[in-house]
Structure 1
Amino acid sequence: MDRGSERDTPPGRGAGDAAAGRIPLAVVVVDRDGLVSHWSSGARRLFGVGREEAVGRAAADLLPVSGALPEDLHGDAMPDAYEGYDGLGPDLESSLGGRTAYATAGRARLVPHGQEADGERLDVLWWAYPLVGPGPSRLLVLAADATRLRDERGYDDETAERISPGFARHTELPASEELERRLPEILPNMGPGLSGRIVSQVLELGYPVLEFSQFDRVPVTPYWGVPRRAGRRRAEAVVPQQRTTPVVVPSGAEQELEYAAVRERLEFLNEVSSAIGSSLDLGETIREVTSAAVPRFADFAGTHLRAAVLAGEGFPDGPPDAQTVMFRVWVEHNDEPGRWDDTVPVGESFAFPEHTPFYKCMVTGEPVLIPRVTDELSERISGEFEKRDLRPLIGGRSLLIVPLKARNVVLGFMVLMRRPDRPGFDDMDRTTGAELAARAGLVLDNARMYTYQENVADTLQDSMLPQVTPRMAGCDIATRYLPGTRLGRIGGDWFDTIKLPGSRTALVVGDVMGHGLNSAAMMGQLRTAVQTMATMETPPAQLLRNLDDLARRLGDNYLATCLYAVYDPIRGELHLANAGHIPPVLVRAEDGSSELLDLPTGAPIGVGGVPFEATRVKVSPGDRLVLCTDGLVEVRGSDIGEGLAALCESAAHPAASMDDACDTIIRALNTRGGRKDDVALLMARLNGIPAEHVAEWRLEADPREVGRARRLVRERLLAWGLPQAVETAELLVSEVVTNAVRHAVSEPVGLRVVRTDALLFEVTDDEPGLPEMLGAGPYDESGRGLRVVSRLAREWGASASGHRKTVWFEQALAGRR
């Protein structure tokens, strides 16, 4: 307790007795709806109601301030809760109507929370300040326990009854500047913006005082706010010392101050713990952790993290050292704007020099406390950093550096500082700061792990999605993939395009049921199986049957839908089979109409024992085929038919390009609320291949036909205006036709040349055995043909169907490789 001035001495007391001045205060803020928005620990102690129970409750149910509340907010319940006995209540309420712009004060006897109405009542002094300006805050209430004031100060009942709350200009009081500086400390955990606005209005309306008579006023200052340990030098006392009489401390006050200090720090840590970690976003978590310390615990806070943590990578290996790069990721302070920006900019990365307190904290993992940074120390610290003068920023300040750790590994550290005019950090602050950093370290590590898992999931998903070539033989392709909104953002949707012999293209869309890594792993297995079977020219229905068998062998829980289509641009035909997937949309180029293709639905992959059917659909050049997964058209609570209708409508919308057409579909359907599933979309414009760009011949199984094949190819390429391709084409055709003639059994050999963006050559014979590339020696007369093809062709391959096989190769045209 503090010693007051002589004018603090109540009538009838000796000059050496304790005087009123510092008393416990309850601080409450009421919003525009009459509900409690802030509730201090002092309010909990005085009224017996905790913060969780009070915030959001009607103030009229808790506070005895009838004259300051609008009439419709306190209703009829208030008279039963308290009684005014100083004559101010009814008259004040009648004259002001609860809607005054002036501060009001009063005194009341209040029934303690949870006690009977006929029990002992609290003697409560209160001050109420109406608040104006932006934000919901509309009333600040200060309250004190007159009974405690009487007991601690030794006032008798007659004197205590003469004490009343009032207001005075703060300039009329001793040490007015100190009063103004200390006033924000009573506000319950507010930011500097809101607390500054409230303090300015309190000073304008009048400082709270206790009136003992018409001429004796004592300024009310709290000793609950920023607590102090008992026995510390109280250089910041707000009431000037006008006598040399020693301070009189009531019995038990030191223990209570110690208890209050510990309780306040525990409440601070509890509030910080509930405020940080509201988001798993690493950047947001860093800002929350740094901002939590300012201004209540420190005037400056800067957070530094290791590069691996900031990048969301795996857990850092080993302790940091002199080569460990730290990033300054956020700075929070209540100094004038811009003061720190140039010297300690956010985003800067560097290794901290040895022989600095920052390095000591980083490598030891223990807090470093410097009560005051001396000129010598600030000079030494500043000298370790090139081209920056830290002395004006750290000189004279109290410095506390706390490590941010998780699983006993230092992830970074936080630098905390207090201005010279504020009490320096002490051992209790070191403990509080260490606990704050420990909780912050766990929250940051959780955010780091989440970011790491997000990166792993994104990388896995990206690696499993194919790099689709936008131009295939006779068709153009555009795709979109949208990750789901569920945690992890990884699922089992996929699409694929596969080049097939005969200038054909396989178009695939599939959806593994479920989400997460298991679904993604199954998707990868099924996609690989589809690619393998497609290149072996497995018919669509047979491919889905094989895929179903594979899924059942992999496990009972493997279920997926799949739509497999083969486009033949020469015949102008689609060959499709469906395994429980939503039907595709076909947009006709002739009239712009769109339709859902009527396909046999089939059962999902993994059900087993269900036959699959294939359907052929004729298409024209310019038609568009749209395949997607159900995440695009199905929303929980809505009929999937509505989504399919929207898909048909948006797919038919004219677009300048394939990418624009995909974007139109995504915009039309992805705005529907409730989408959580991932989405795969594949669109193919079926351009076809004109008949004049295809040449076919039948050759007899006679070695003399090899020369004819060369001549036919030469004439066709010259007719197409491709003389530069003749020489290579003749050589490759000669090698492949020679092998076909040699191995043909009885049927003629087929030769086909197709012109697209490259030249495709196909040679077919009736020997189903696939050719092998042999290792020919220097004296071998055969075995070099496929080596020549492999060296000169852009691509080549072979496939067997029935009792026939086809060897094909592509020759790049000049400028199109």
Structure 2
Amino acid sequence: MTTTSLDAVTLGKQLNASDISDTAIALLDEQGTVVAWTHTAERLVGYSARDAVGRSAALVLPSFKEATPTSAFVEQCHTENGWSGATAVRHRDGRVLDVSVRITMLRGQDGTARWLASVTDTVPQSGDPIDRSVRGPLLARAGIGVGIRDRRLRSTYVNDVAESHDGIPRDRRLGRRFTEALPGANAETIEAVMRQVAQNGATKILEYRTWLPTNQGPEHQFAVSFQCLQGADGESLGVCVISADITASWQARERLAVLSQAGTRLGSTLDVMQASQELADLAVPLLADYVAVDLEQSISIGEGPPVGISATTGNRLPTFRRAGLASIHQGVPESPWMRGEPVNVPPASPFASVLRDGKSRLQPVLDTAPGTWVDEVPELAHRVREYGMHSIMVVPIRARRALLGVALFVRTTDPEPFHEADLLLAEELVGRAARALDNARQYARKHTAALTLQRHLLPRQLRGGTAVEVASRYLPADVDHGVGGDWFDVIPLSGARVALVVGDVVGHGLHAAATMGRLRTAVHTLADMDLPPDELLAQLDDTVQRLGEEDADTPDQAHVVAGATCLYAVYDPATRRCTMASAGHPPPAITDPQGRVSYPDLPTGAPLGVGLGDPFESVELELAEGSVLALYTDGLIDTRDHDIEKGMHRLGNALAQPGRSLEDLCDIATKTVPDQAPCDDVTLLLVRTRSLSPSRVVTWELPGDRSAVCRARNLATRQLTEWGLEGLEDDTKLIVSELVTNAIGHGTGQIELRLIRHQVLTCEVSDAGPCPPRPRRARATDENGRGLFLVTNLSRRWGSRSITGGKVVWAEQDLPHASGPRSAAA
């Protein structure tokens, strides 16, 4: 795409009203003597009407200084019927000015002639090099209508061009006022302006729109300059009227006005398909009758990177997909491909040429004869001929030295072929659209990457075990806000318990999703330590603050962790008790089996990473079997038009439906979000509580001495026999012996032994000792220190957790396959 400024070139190549208003005018007789002068001529050369009228044009034209008025000057004017070109004029102070001169012949009613000398300074005060290079030739080439009117505004002299502007023949014009020759509103307005100019000597400009007398096409825009003609005494002799067809310039100004709007209109969306459609809509009917925008297919689906121009060498062309369509005809019947469909690019077409060299193609006259490239795609050939596509422009859409797509501009109904000025405008529009498309493409890539990362980091399958039934929903935010850092989890814990987690990282985008993954991993690690909810959030808060400090040291401050909210709950199906704590997160909704919904009075706590230092508080609740807990992020309850309390009430109404499945409740609850796009991610985790049958949990109190070891083995053996798990008897007796022995040696007071049969067999030994056991490698001479090593080898996993007044050490064993998992109520 050319980097030339369209504003300067387009306006420089068209005639403007200012070109004729700044033109110095002098009226000469057939011998080249000045018979009338204007204020603009005085401003240009310094001579007043008293100085110039009655003297030869050679006074100010050095090129005619040595010629007599009736020889070279008049001879050249008659030979060429006037003439134009660059020359020099002498200022009164002696300076020589480079100017463009145009001598126009005017004829009067009695057959006499006059010469109108129009002089334009080719070096304007602005010093604009483009204006300097084109302004003079403009007046030389433009078809300018010229007329002279006397004090009574009757036409006395006129040139041939004037008739083509208003359709009034010379014989009907001369001797008449304008209102007499062409009655109408425009005529009255023009005559009023002429009268004002004749009276006060001012120069006036009038612009108006009308149809040319021989043209049935669109309206034309005219600029008319009115200058007072002065005699030798400085008094008004009449008015000089110069009219110019400035339609092209007017259209250019309209297009530039559109370009000024294009910057905002083309950047209003971060969707590549919508940005392409905006380009097409902007160009029709301003520039073309039909426009199609095709994007390289990876761009249209938010992938990339785009192909480089060099990737289109040879016959190997990238695949394109239609992204934008606009037409003066409803339904865009000219296009054989609709939006989103792949486009067939003929190898011999201008499209392929544009893709190969990256340069725009202008075909003012499209060759649609049989056997041309058009026939390579039959469905395209049919539409080209049916709708009369006669002129096209193909412009590459490029950004960062990469090819994003191509834009096709076509004229069908408009008979005017495309010109270079049209191509400049098209390239400017496409260039601005390319920047918007590139921004949208990069956003789409980041949005897709963030969404993919978040979905990979979220749990793919939730397992509630024998403790809870689980269902969830995650709805990403709309494209204008991007992916957030919401997450949820159900983490199996020892003793058939589960941890329920929901959290929300502040912010959106790729970094929020990555931070969410770090926090989810940290929660899993802390959950494996079996920390109580309040202690876990305290540890997680330290983690977030540490991550924030580490990120603050990086150059990219946009990646600093800004904080997060989190709700962590632990449910024990053996006791039906749920312990929960919150770090700045809204409380869960709890629905009892009868459908009554409540929100627990849960201390909110500070968000993670804020660094207030206040301790988190836990709340313990007993839940009826079959209760439903709803853990969610604020995107579900907080919308643009409703506050959180209304959102919580709306959620409660959705959940108050006993007997419905969790999947149904998820659908119902998420559909309560208002129809407008959510301003944040919507996350919902629903769990229905279960309870373990008393027959699956057995607890014994044991003395804190050595006799407890033998008693514990015997109790465990009898219970395993009752459960039909004789195959685990040997390993269980050894595990029980070691755990009880460890409690006696390192704990105080009574010991409690509990066996739980759920999806695994769990053996728990609790005591009043505060210190958890630590495995160590025993030396060959040590008599002790191998107990935990033995437990490690006999169990699938083991660990310990703190409880009020002591600790619990536990070990899990896989159940024999023959026994199989049984229902929680068995």
Could you say which TM-score interval applies, normalised by the shorter chain?
A: 0.5 to 0.7
CA contact (8 A) 1:759 1:813 kept: no
Instruction: For residue 225 of structure 1, report the CA deviation from its aligned partner.
Output: 5.7
Q: How does 1:353-432 map to 2 (within 5 A)?
A: 354-374=347-367, 379-382=371-374, 384-385=376-377, 390=381, 393=384, 397-419=390-412, 422-432=415-425
Q: How does 1:271-670 map to 2 (within 5 A)?
A: 275-319=265-309, 320-321=311-312, 322-334=316-328, 340=334, 343-344=336-337, 346-349=339-342, 352=345, 354-374=347-367, 379-382=371-374, 384-385=376-377, 390=381, 393=384, 397-419=390-412, 422-467=415-460, 469=462, 471-484=464-477, 487-513=480-506, 515=508, 519-555=512-548, 558-589=562-593, 591-605=594-608, 606-634=610-638, 640-654=644-658, 656-668=660-672, 670=673
Q: Quick check: 430-439 or 483-492, which moved more?
A: 483-492
- CA 1:219/1:667 → structure 2, altered by over 3 Å: closer, same or farther? same
Cα distance in 2 for partners of 1:763, 1:710 equals 15
Deviations 1:206-236 (A, max 9, x none): xx999xxxxxxx6885664699xxxxxxxxx
Q: How does 1:97-112 map to 2 (within 5 A)?
A: none
- CA 1:270/1:459 → structure 2, altered by over 3 Å: closer, same or farther? same
Who is 1:671 aligned against? 674
2:684 to 652, 677, 681: 681
Cα distance in 1 for partners of 2:325, 2:657 equals 50
Cα distance in 2 for partners of 1:658, 1:760 equals 28
User: Can you give the 5+ residue segments of structure 1 that lack an aligned partner in the other structure?
Assistant: 1-11, 18-121, 123-144, 167-186, 189-207, 211-217, 228-249, 718-725, 775-780
Q: How does 1:122-271 map to 2 (within 5 A)?
A: 158-161=177-180, 163-165=182-184, 221=216, 224=219, 253=244, 256=246, 259-260=249-250, 262-267=252-257, 269-270=259-260
Cα distance in 2 for partners of 1:281, 1:372 equals 35
Instruction: For residue 569 of structure 1, report the CA deviation from its aligned partner.
Output: 0.4
Deviations 1:181-211 (A, max 9, x none): xxxxxx99xxxxxxxxxxxxxxxxxxx999x
Cα distance in 2 for partners of 1:149, 1:510 equals 76
Who is 1:738 aligned against? 734
Instruction: For residue 152 of structure 1, report the CA deviation from its aligned partner.
Output: 11
What secondary structure sits across from 2:283 in the alignment? Answer: coil
Instruction: For residue 365 of structure 1, report the CA deviation from its aligned partner.
Output: 1.1
- CA 1:784/1:571 → structure 2, altered by over 3 Å: closer, same or farther? closer
CA contact (8 A) 1:361 1:402 kept: yes
Deviations 1:368-413 (A, max 9, x none): 123333356x52414655x767277269732321111122322111
CA contact (8 A) 1:300 1:333 kept: yes
Who is 1:237 aligned against? none
Cα distance in 2 for partners of 1:687, 1:609 equals 36
What secondary structure sits across from 2:495 in the alignment? Answer: coil
What secondary structure sits across from 1:445 in the alignment? Answer: helix
Deviations 1:532-573 (A, max 9, x none): 111111122222222233333334775444332211101111
CA contact (8 A) 1:585 1:597 kept: yes
CA contact (8 A) 2:270 2:480 kept: no
Who is 2:54 aligned against? none
Who is 1:230 aligned against? none
CA contact (8 A) 1:510 1:561 kept: yes
User: Can you give the 5+ residue segments of structure 2 that lack an aligned partner in the other structure?
Assistant: 1-107, 114-152, 154-161, 186-207, 223-240, 550-560, 745-750, 779-785
CA contact (8 A) 2:567 2:581 kept: yes
Counting aligned pairs with the same residue, the percent is 32
The TM-score, its normalising length taken from structure 1, stands at 0.60
CA contact (8 A) 1:331 1:346 kept: yes
2:696 to 693, 698, 704: 693
- CA 1:455/1:709 → structure 2, altered by over 3 Å: closer, same or farther? same
Cα distance in 2 for partners of 1:300, 1:749 equals 84
CA contact (8 A) 1:400 1:415 kept: yes
Q: Quick check: 276-285 or 569-578, which moved more?
A: 276-285
Which entry has the higher C-alpha Rg, 1 or 2?
A: 2
- CA 1:411/1:764 → structure 2, altered by over 3 Å: closer, same or farther? same
Cα distance in 1 for partners of 2:356, 2:482 equals 37
Deviations 1:484-526 (A, max 9, x none): 4694333344332211000001112334455555554544333
Q: Quick check: 570-579 or 347-356, which moved more?
A: 347-356
Instruction: For residue 258 of structure 1, report the CA deviation from its aligned partner.
Output: 5.5
CA contact (8 A) 1:693 1:754 kept: yes
The aligned amino acid for 2:381 is L
Deviations 1:30-78 (A, max 9, x none): xxxxxxxxxxxxxxxxxxxxxxxxxxxxxxxxxxxxxxxxxxxxxxxxx
Cα distance in 2 for partners of 1:487, 1:473 equals 41
Cα distance in 2 for partners of 1:282, 1:335 equals 24
The aligned amino acid for 1:539 is P
Who is 1:713 aligned against? 720
Cα distance in 2 for partners of 1:264, 1:585 equals 60
* Cα-Cα RMSD: 4.9
Q: How does 1:731-810 map to 2 (within 5 A)?
A: 734-735=730-731, 737-738=733-734, 741=737, 744-745=741-742, 747=744, 750=753, 752-755=755-758, 758-762=759-763, 764=765, 769=773, 796=797, 798-799=799-800, 801=802, 805-810=809-814
- CA 1:816/1:282 → structure 2, altered by over 3 Å: closer, same or farther? farther
- CA 1:706/1:435 → structure 2, altered by over 3 Å: closer, same or farther? same
Cα distance in 1 for partners of 2:650, 2:218 equals 67
The aligned amino acid for 2:279 is V
Instruction: For residue 362 of structure 1, report the CA deviation from its aligned partner.
Output: 0.7
The aligned amino acid for 1:290 is A
Cα distance in 1 for partners of 2:677, 2:420 equals 52
- CA 1:306/1:797 → structure 2, altered by over 3 Å: closer, same or farther? farther
The aligned amino acid for 2:320 is M
Who is 1:35 aligned against? none
The TM-score, its normalising length taken from structure 2, stands at 0.59
The aligned amino acid for 1:349 is P
